[in-house]
Amino acid sequence: MSSSKTETARQRLKVLEQSQDGFFISEMDMRFRGPGEVLGTRQSGLPDFTLASLVEDQEVLELAREAAEKVIARDETLERWPLLQAELKYRYERLMGGTILT
């Protein structure tokens, strides 16, 4: 099916050959390619994950997500945390180029 002879191409085909689990295939693809793109644009608006790997540090990233969800549950507007509110607004605007997707 593939004319590519690289080892990565062989490994990808082997994953597809051995599994029909979309989550597993997706995780393996991320391991081969890295995190890639967000919303169709290269992650230039976000810092590189030099302290965390989306695959290898999944547990700690899930803990961070849970903590963020608790903060949002307490104060959806983040008025209690103005510095956090300002930082998130800044990063969102950098990522989206100042536009809002609907």
pLDDT of residue 26: 77
Question: Cβ–Cβ contacts within 10 Å for residue 27, how many?
Answer: 15
Amino acid 82: pLDDT: 93
* pLDDT 10s digits, 4-29: 578 878 888 888 888 887 767 777 77
Q: Which alpha helices (DSSP H) does the chain contain, by range?
A: 7-18, 22-33, 58-74, 82-96
Q: Measured between alpha carbons, how far is residue 14 from residues 2, 9, 22 in Å? A: 12, 9, 14
- Structure-model confidence comparison of residues 74 and 52, the more confident one: 74
Q: Is the pLDDT of residue 74 over 70?
A: yes
